[in-house]
């Protein structure tokens, strides 16, 4: 196939319909080379055509296409860049606080629990079966903070049930701890997001005062932040979980250990070993806190 035919094929303009008499004329003439010298990039403009004349059929086709193709476009397929529109952001309404967070910050435990049970501050109140406040010892050494209730939790009213809950229980058992003994478990959100989708920033902002008050009243020795949403809220950052793990962190003076959410670990088994290291750090912090306390007494 000659060069012009290749070009036409590249442009998806081949095969061309050419008048028979032109084909005959071309057949009567000897084939001429159209090969360009090595390193030559120029296309078949006037000068290039003079150096490398095209066969008669190609010349006829070129002439027929001339009104359709600009001279500089005949060498290669035209490059058309289509701008990609930016992804639209979810627009959320501004949060109206009206002193709500300040009121929550002064509540006692029972008032707080009742406030959560009747809360309609965000749209999740319309889709939840019930609120999930938390479970465990009210004078805990450890508070585990997860993300939000899932389907089972929404049905049972308790955080971390189902497969992720079982894994959390096993993780705690591995460091000699047990749900309900020296441990309290809560979530960032107290209501289930539909289809277990990620919490929206506005939902987190509206629900966070409840968790903050819980932590103030519980005053644990250490907090285990399980997953990105818990870690980012408590540490007031947008940094990824990988940047927050393995580093000493604090929430209002209480040590925070950041680890993966058990639901994530169920899908990413190799990260279980990293989570184990996080739990060992938590255990160390707890031992140091207990040691310091017994030292105080002695």
Q: Residues 199, 159: contact at Cβ < 8 Å?
A: no
In 173-234 the beta strands, taken as DSSP E runs, fall at 183-187, 222-226
Residue 212: how many CB atoms within 10 A of its CB? Answer: 17
Q: 3-10 and 56-65 are packed helices; what angle lies between their axes, rounded to 10 degrees?
A: 30
Q: Residues 285, 221: contact at Cβ < 8 Å?
A: yes
Q: Which stretch binds ligand SF4 (CB under 6 A): 28-36, 62-70, 74-82, 120-128?
A: 120-128
Nearest residue (CB) to ligand SF4, 149 versus 165: 149
Q: What is the closest distance, in whole angstroms, from the C-beta atom of residue 187 to ligand SF4 in the complex?
A: 9
CA distances from 121 to 89, 184, 235, 250 (A): 22, 24, 23, 28
Q: What is the closest distance, in whole angstroms, from the C-beta atom of residue 174 to ligand SF4 in the complex?
A: 31
Q: Does 189 bind ligand SF4 (CB under 6 A)?
A: yes
Nearest residue (CB) to ligand SF4, 141 versus 203: 203
Name the one residue in this structure whose structure tokens are 């490398």. Answer: 52
Q: Residues 188, 229: contact at Cβ < 8 Å?
A: yes
Number of residues that bind ligand SF4 (CB under 6 A): 14
Q: What is the closest distance, in whole angstroms, from the C-beta atom of residue 273 to ligand SF4 in the complex?
A: 33
Q: Does 286 bind ligand SF4 (CB under 6 A)?
A: no
Q: Does 185 bind ligand SF4 (CB under 6 A)?
A: no
Q: Does 104 bind ligand SF4 (CB under 6 A)?
A: no
Q: Is 156 exposed, middle or buried (0-12, 13-18, 19+ CB in 10 A)?
A: middle
How is 12-40 classified by DSSP, letter by letter?
Answer: T-PSPP--HHHHHHHHHSPP---PPPTT-
Q: Does 203 bind ligand SF4 (CB under 6 A)?
A: yes
CA distances from 273 to 78, 169, 242, 260, 278 (A): 53, 16, 14, 11, 9
Q: Which stretch binds ligand SF4 (CB under 6 A): 149-157, 164-172, 178-186, 189-197?
A: 189-197
Nearest residue (CB) to ligand SF4, 133 versus 184: 133
Nearest residue (CB) to ligand SF4, 190 versus 261: 190
**Single residue of 52, 190, 213, 245 touching ligand SF4 by CB under 6 A:** 190
Nearest residue (CB) to ligand SF4, 57 versus 206: 206
Instruction: Tell me if residue 256 falls in helix, strand or coil.
Output: strand
**Single residue of 105, 125, 174, 219 touching ligand SF4 by CB under 6 A:** 125
Q: Does 107 bind ligand SF4 (CB under 6 A)?
A: no
Binding stretches for ligand SF4 (CB under 6 A): 116, 119-122, 124-125, 131, 189-191, 203, 206-207
């Amino acid at each position: 196939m000659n060069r012009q035919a290749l070009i036409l094929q590249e442009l998806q303009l081949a095969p061309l319909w050419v008048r028979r008499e032109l084909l005959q004329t071309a057949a009567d003439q000897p084939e001429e080379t159209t090969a360009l010298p090595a390193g030559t990039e120029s296309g078949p403009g006037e000068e290039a055509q003079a150096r490398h004349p095209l066969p008669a059929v190609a010349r006829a086709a070129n002439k027929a296409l001339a009104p359709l193709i600009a001279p500089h476009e005949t060498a290669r397929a035209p490059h058309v860049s289509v701008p990609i529109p930016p992804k639209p952001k979810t627009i959320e309404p501004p949060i109206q606080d009206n002193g709500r967070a300040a009121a929550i910050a002064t509540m006692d435990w029972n008032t707080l629990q009742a406030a959560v049970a009747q809360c309609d501050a965000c749209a999740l109140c319309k889709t939840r079966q019930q609120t999930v406040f938390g479970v465990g010892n009210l004078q805990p050494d450890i508070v585990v903070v997860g993300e939000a209730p899932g389907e089972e939790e929404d049905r049972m009213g308790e955080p971390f049930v189902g497969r992720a809950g079982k894994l959390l229980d096993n993780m705690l058992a591995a460091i000699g701890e047990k749900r309900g003994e020296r441990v309290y478990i809560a979530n960032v959100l107290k209501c289930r997001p539909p289809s277990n989708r990620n919490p929206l920033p506005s939902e987190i902002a509206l629900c966070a005062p409840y968790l903050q008050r819980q932590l103030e009243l519980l005053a644990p020795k250490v907090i285990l932040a399980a997953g990105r949403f818990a870690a980012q809220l408590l540490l007031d950052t947008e940094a990824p979980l990988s940047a927050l793990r393995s580093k000493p962190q604090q929430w209002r003076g209480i040590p925070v250990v950041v680890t993966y959410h058990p639901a994530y670990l169920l899908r990413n088994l190799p990260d279980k070993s990293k989570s184990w290291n996080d739990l060992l750090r938590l255990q160390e912090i707890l031992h140091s806190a207990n040691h310091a306390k017994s030292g105080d007494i002695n």
